Structure 1
Amino acid sequence: MTIQFNTDKNITGSEEKSAPLIAFLTTDLSRFSKQITRLEVHLSDENGHKDGQNDVRCLIEARLEGRQPIAVTNDANTSSLAVRGASDKLKNALETIVGRARNY
């Protein structure tokens, strides 16, 4: 499973900041590592330089082997919380998709 991290101009993206989030996603989604070929994680600050509640958005697009990609989003106060929330939503979506595939 390849993980690509992208940030907008309002969020500083670096190896040091993305490494713990990549490690979290790798561990959190390990159950689905055979189905996921690639994850694209997009972090953006919806308010730009202004402060606000839940202004960091995480969009995760999962490319699944032999299926259409799926995408989930989550808004939170920090990048870490946004990634964790989006990961939870992605796990729920993947459980539904993989569960349906097993039933056929």
Structure 2
Amino acid sequence: MQIQFNSDSSVMGTENVAERIEAAVRQKLSRFENRLTRLEVHVRDENGPKGGADDKACTIEARPSGGKPIGVTEHASSVDDAARRAAGTLAQRLERHFGKSERHGHDPRPEKEM
């Protein structure tokens, strides 16, 4: 599973932010690693230098193998908290997504005899 990390310039001021967030996201979503081709993580500060409560946002988009992308966005007071929340929400959505496909899987259609 490949992880692509994107951020705006105001978020990269802290040390090792990309490594910390990637490690937290990878740990939370590790059980889906074989079913995902790529994760895109976007972190940003929506107010820039102004500050404010819950102004940090993290969007994570997962690309399931052979499926449509699934994305979530969460807000918090720090980018680490926003990433942790987004990873948790995405884990729930992936659990539902993969659970439904397994529950609704059908046996291959039998060959018709003429």
CA deviations 1:37-74 (Å, max 9, x no partner) are: 10000001111111100000000011110000011000
Give matches, 1:1-104, under 5 Å.
1-12=1-12, 16-103=16-103, 104=105
Which runs of 5 or more residues in structure 2 are unaligned? 106-114
Q: Which moved more, 1:19-28 or 1:67-76?
A: 19-28
Q: Could you tell me the TM-score, scaled by structure 2's length?
A: 0.86
Q: Residue 99 of structure 2 aligns to a residue in which SS?
A: helix
Q: Residue 48 of structure 2 aligns to a residue in which SS?
A: coil
Q: Which has the larger radius of gyration?
A: 2
Q: Could you tell me the TM-score, scaled by structure 1's length?
A: 0.93
Return the offset for 1:16: 2.1
Q: CA 1:15/1:62 → structure 2, altered by over 3 Å: closer, same or farther?
A: farther
Which runs of 5 or more residues in structure 1 are unaligned? none
Aligned length: 104
- The alignment's C-alpha RMSD in Å is 1.5
Q: Residue 16 of structure 2 aligns to a residue in which SS?
A: helix
Q: CA 1:36/1:14 → structure 2, altered by over 3 Å: closer, same or farther?
A: farther
Letter in 2 for 1:56: K
Q: Which moved more, 1:58-67 or 1:16-25?
A: 16-25
What CA distance in whole angstroms lies between the structure 1 residues aligned with 2:64 and 2:29?
13
Return the offset for 1:9: 2.8
What CA distance in whole angstroms lies between the structure 2 residues aligned with 1:36 and 1:97?
12
Q: Residue 34 of structure 2 aligns to a residue in which SS?
A: coil
Letter in 1 for 2:85: G
Identity of aligned pairs, percent?
42
